[in-house]
Structure 1
Amino acid sequence: MSEMKFTAEQLPGVRRFTEEHARRYKVDDGLIGDLVIAVNEIATNAVRHGSAHAELRMWTEDGRVIAEIHDSGSWSLSSAPGATPPPPEAEGGMGIWVARQICSAVSINTGNNGTVVRLELSSTARYI
């Protein structure tokens, strides 16, 4: 497992960290950019809406790459965030929806200890 603590100013480092570890974990080259986008969207949400400091953890498990983003903020989940696309005129609110389009699984857990968003992607999946 690899970990990185970050703030909003360190988001470029989050993208580099994600790409580096995706390559180390043998993610298909065609999926690395997509994984970087998904992690960046959730990491950006973490430091914009959750808390000033957040943490990214990445590892592999059963042929999947797992990325977890943890912040100390909490929120009330009214339904499955990002389950439907935002309206075309939206200027934000697309992060979780984008991550759901890219990843094979997205889970969100929030409570007294903060929020954890877990992204899963098959390391060998290929687009048709």
Structure 2
Amino acid sequence: MPDLVLIDREFDTGTLVDLRRDVEHCARANGLDDLALYRFVVAVNEITTNAVRHGGGRGRLELWRTGDRLHCRVTDRGEGIPAEHRHPSRPGAHSVGGRGLWLAQQGIAGLTITTGATGTRITLSSPAIAA
């Protein structure tokens, strides 16, 4: 059970910019800074953008804190992530796409994926300094 719910809202393409700003503000207020803050916000942005692009055009983001960890869950109602895309390798320098999930996995302490025919749930976590 979360100690402190920070954000719980639906999003779509029109609200991604505001959502990213709010995630950054909450993450900073809960102890992330510098490179850890940048990586967390980039990871969340990549996952929310993927939810809009590949997961039905919208999603839900929940950001909460438990003790010394910050967590973010992004849920969509798409058709799921194919198995071959769940653990991507680094895309080639000239690849047009395919960087989102790979990039998110590079900069975050913990990332879990639950996916199937009725949608995907990705949860990210990062250590946070006491606020």
Normalised to the residue count of structure 1, the TM-score between the two structures is 0.86
Q: Tell me the equivalent position of 2:59.
A: 54
CA distance in 2, matches of 1:37, 1:113: 26
| Aligned partner letter, 1:74 | E
Q: Is the 8 A contact 2:59 2:76 kept in 1?
A: yes
Q: Is the 8 A contact 2:74 2:122 kept in 1?
A: yes
Q: Output aligned runs, 1:9-88, within 5 Å.
A: 9-79=14-84, 81-88=86-93
Tell me, which stretches of 5 or more residues in structure 2 are unaligned?
none
Q: Is the 8 A contact 1:82 1:94 kept in 2?
A: no
Going from structure 1 to structure 2, the CA distance change for 1:76 and 1:38 (only over 3 Å counts) comes to closer
Going from structure 1 to structure 2, the CA distance change for 1:52 and 1:80 (only over 3 Å counts) comes to closer
Deviations 1:36-70 (A, max 9, x none): 11110010000010012211100112421111111
Q: Tell me the equivalent position of 1:122.
A: 127
Aligned Cα RMSD in Å? 1.8
CA distance in 2, matches of 1:112, 1:84: 23
Normalised to the residue count of structure 2, the TM-score between the two structures is 0.84
What SS does the corresponding residue of 2:43 show, helix, strand or coil? Answer: helix
CA distance in 2, matches of 1:58, 1:72: 18
CA distance in 1, matches of 2:73, 2:81: 19
